Chains A and B, each alone.
Chain A
Amino acid sequence: MKQYDAIIIGAGHNGLTNAAYLAKAGLDVLVLEKNDYIGGAAVTRELEQGFKYSNCSYVCSMMRQAIHRDLDLARHGLVLVPYLGTVNFGDQLNDVLVDYPNESAGYNEWRRRNPHDADSRHRFETDLARYAQLIRKTLLRTPPDPTSFKPRDIHELLWLGKTFFSIGEKQLYEYIRFFTMSATEFLEEYFDDPLIKAAMASPGIIGTALGVDSPGSAYILLHHVMGDVDGNIGAWGLARGGMGAISNALMSAAKSHGAEVRTNSGVAQVLVENGKAAGVVLENGDELRSKIVVSNLDAKRTFTKIVDRKDIPERIFKQASNFKIRGSSGKVNIALSGLPKFIGVPDNRYINRGGQGFCGSLKTMEKAYDCWKRGTWSDDPFIESVIPSVWDPTVAPPGQHWMSNFIQYCPHELADGPWTPEKRDAFADSVINKIERYSPGFKDLIIHAEVRTPFEIENEVGLTEGNIFQGELTIDQLLFNRPFPGYSQYRMPVKNMYMCGSSTHPGGGVSSACGANAAREILMDLKKANTVPEDDFYDE
């Protein structure tokens, strides 16, 4: 029976990144995917003819440029296009805050609302950039184990300390406060204008089961603004051809180094022999053997579903069971016969087409969170929308569009029993009705809609509870605590078994960093030369 050097469970973007780097080092690698398509949550799906939805993740900013470049993803067909000009809508119709692509135009827009905030924005962005710069440096590095006395861990800890102290004493205090603050508290220190605060707070709740008033939401905010596109810090890009273009390019790169990828191959169990991972058993009963096994699934799914409880310490089973991975977001992907127009938005082609933030106010967002806590959805949800087809000619027919609507919040389990198709439609109505309010006639443009609650995201993609980050990004689950204290270095309690998904450092987002970091650790254990590049920063 053939023995692979490595089997990777899950062809999400991190699994494919991991495969590419292991194959590049000369390993015989097999990637197994349960679905009949690859990509995990970075996929492009044509569910209505001519419309190509990025039906899970929809924008990209954290993709490590060093990996993009090193794996030559451009040659494998990946082009990232920055998109600009998001419009934020307040609770009142006509109350519109435009995020102009041009700095001077943006200043004028803010000054019109509130001269104090327009000025304060500079300090806000500088502080945020300062914090982001530190976190960004850790992305393509393995977190040190603070309890270890290994020279490498001590060295990394010293580096981490030195890096954090480099911002100065006062800023360090601020930074430590920042980690446990709520987005609201953080923003109160800079802004007065309600819509400005709401718009700035929205990245603090995306994908997470926290409200704008919850401690820890300030960090989530940072997580969403620390990326960049070609050095434009905080900018977001679209993958030409949809998010699936990222996965496809990674797969093509992995294959060019000799990796094998098999779809329709769900893994039922990790084979453990003498305390060591020895391969996998597929759902169809086939047994595949390998020297190491890498799970791209989330930590909870890995250690409660596909690893036998008796093969791991009881503590890990408990920690995996209690891993904070609450589903809180939904998605409504809509095909449109034309470009929607929005009330109060100037007919300026640089702003009325990129993205829309239906944030309302901090109160509206917190109310939506209250609904989630009670196991229902808000009839006034927070929606972050993008119309990728305005920028990307490959994802919709000419003159027609598709709109990605990300909804915070949507519960994994409803208070009144399980999700049903009727409830799913009612959830979608809350979204469509809200957009219709700001864009009269919107409903008439709808050709097709795909509704995804955490239930669909869990069952189709495989993310436990439909949590988009494979585990929440709160400080108890970050850096050397991710996924579990003592297991942050990608090695798992079963020997020869590793994790490479977003459940590991640095967490959620299409960054390829988790997969690359895991590959570096694996190659170190196998005493192979490292193939993973160092990160490349613009601000150095």
Chain B
Amino acid sequence: MTSNLMTSHEAYTNEHGKLSPFHERQAERNVRGAWAEWNGYKFAEYYYDAQYEYFCVRNQCGTYDISPMQKYMIEGEQALAMLNRMVTRDLAKCKVGRAMYTVWCTEEGRLIDDGAVFRLADDKYMLTCGAPMIAWLRRAKLGFTNVTVTDVTDDIAALSIQGPTSYSVLRTLNLTGDDALETLKLFDVREFTFNGKPITVSRTGFTGDLGYELWVDPAHAIELWDAIYAQQDNYGVHPYGEAATDMLRIEAGFIMPFVDFNEAHKTIHFRHDHSPLELNLDWLVNFKKPMFNGKKALLEEAKTGPEYRLVKLDIEGNKPAEEAWLYADKNCTKEIGYVTSAMWSPVAKANIALAMVKPDALKGDIYAEIYYTQELRQKMKVAKCELKDKPFWAPERARAVPPFQY
């Protein structure tokens, strides 16, 4: 055997998936061995039970590993100019120590992805998003000098801690910084010291509840995890995976790529991707900005109106309207749209859904044609839908400053 042959283990390296800085601890907690993947990382689908974890977040708190999320540092004199040219929101309004949720589009005004931009210093931004974006960032950088884009995904361990007791848990970490943790408002970002090591804390998340995201050097990831989990019996901390996240984000009314929208660069069929206006994200599009990618197309679309509108529905009965067609009439003859995400919401006690509906049909009745099975028998019911303006779950505690302490 020669030395340049791979061992059988190495031959499967790519198949195993990369391990997150928190993996060691998360593997101990994943008693059901339920793993999924995210951007090449091995990633928990759930640890024990999706609904159990969902309730941990709504009732106590949970941690969610966002290390596999893509993270980019954009630095230099022209960092703001470059990013502002790329995204639809006006980042000039994002002060140092703040974060903004935004989207970015193709020239045709179709959504490439959504994500958060954190302004860490005058000329330093961190962009986070669900899917790799380095290729697009390199193109977005064209024409801008004095700006660097660095992929720091593997250099930062990130853990989201969400739920009503999340603040009480973080308080026990004795973080020190210029500002007290309790003063953080939604979308605030601050630097702290944890056991003598730097940690960035943002009051952000994907659950619609009180919560924070913690950003540290991967070398300190386990230390951070252990400090948080030292509090698990006091405040009920439990890890949660992708399945619970999906429940939590639907209740909060947040959209998910390849569920509620198709990323433009990965969409084959014409117009199977989406514009921010279709996704009801008009509030993210700042037409007053001089120039940004997709502006012209979006201006045009704003005049004629989008083809669809993403709406929130409360549907009668308790059968989730997964993949349901929507109609203007009870007999299901006039099709007006389709459901993108649906679930029974245990905290709202409502049968909720996100759906794409033709704008002119929003004034009339909406019915969902729901298919489900009962002991192997296919069943169908037509259920009346009610439009909802507000998220299904938006407790006061999510915004309260200072947060309630347990």
Binding site for B on A (CB under 8 A): 65, 68-69, 73-74, 79-82, 84, 101-102, 229-231, 240, 339, 350, 390-394, 398-399, 536-540
Contact = CB atoms under 8 A, between A and B. Distances in A.
A79 B406 contact: no
B236 A393 contact: yes
A539 B318 CA distance: 10
B58 A79 contact: yes
B235 A101 contact: no
A391 B52 contact: no
B350 interface: yes
Interface stretch (B62-70, B191-199, B341-349): B341-349
B55 interface: yes
Interface of B: 32, 48-49, 51-52, 55, 58-60, 164-165, 168, 231, 233-236, 317-318, 344, 346-350, 374, 406
Given A393-B164, A393-B165, A398-B168, A69 B350 contact: yes
Contacts of A102: 32, 48-49
B100 to A, nearest CB: 29
B178 to A, nearest CB: 28
A536 B318 contact: yes
B346 A392 contact: no
B318 A399 contact: no
Interface of A, helix, strand, loop or mixed by DSSP: loop
A74 B348 contact: yes
Nearest to A353: B233
A69 B55 contact: no
A290 B62 CA distance: 51
Contact of B59 (A74, A79, A539): A79
B380 to A, nearest CB: 13
Contact of A399 (B48, B58, B233, B374): B233
5 smallest A-B Cβ distances: which pairs?
A398-B234, A69-B349, A399-B234, A230-B346, A393-B406
B349 A73 contact: yes
A393 B233 contact: no
26 contacts: A65-B318, A73-B349, A74-B348, A74-B350, A79-B347, A84-B52, A101-B52, A102-B32, A231-B344, A339-B233, A350-B52, A390-B236, A391-B236, A393-B59, A393-B60, A393-B235, A393-B236, A393-B406, A394-B406, A398-B234, A398-B235, A398-B406, A399-B233, A399-B234, A537-B318, A539-B374
A90 B58 CA distance: 35
Nearest to A389: B236
A209 B124 CA distance: 72
Contacts of A79: 58-59, 347
B59 A391 contact: yes
Contact of B49 (A101, A240, A536, A538): A101
Contacts of B374: 539-540
A100 to B, nearest CB: 11
Contacts of A540: 374
Nearest to A232: B51
Given A79-B58, A81-B59, 12 more contacts: A79-B59, A79-B347, A80-B346, A102-B48, A230-B346, A231-B344, A391-B60, A393-B235, A398-B231, A398-B235, A399-B234, A539-B374
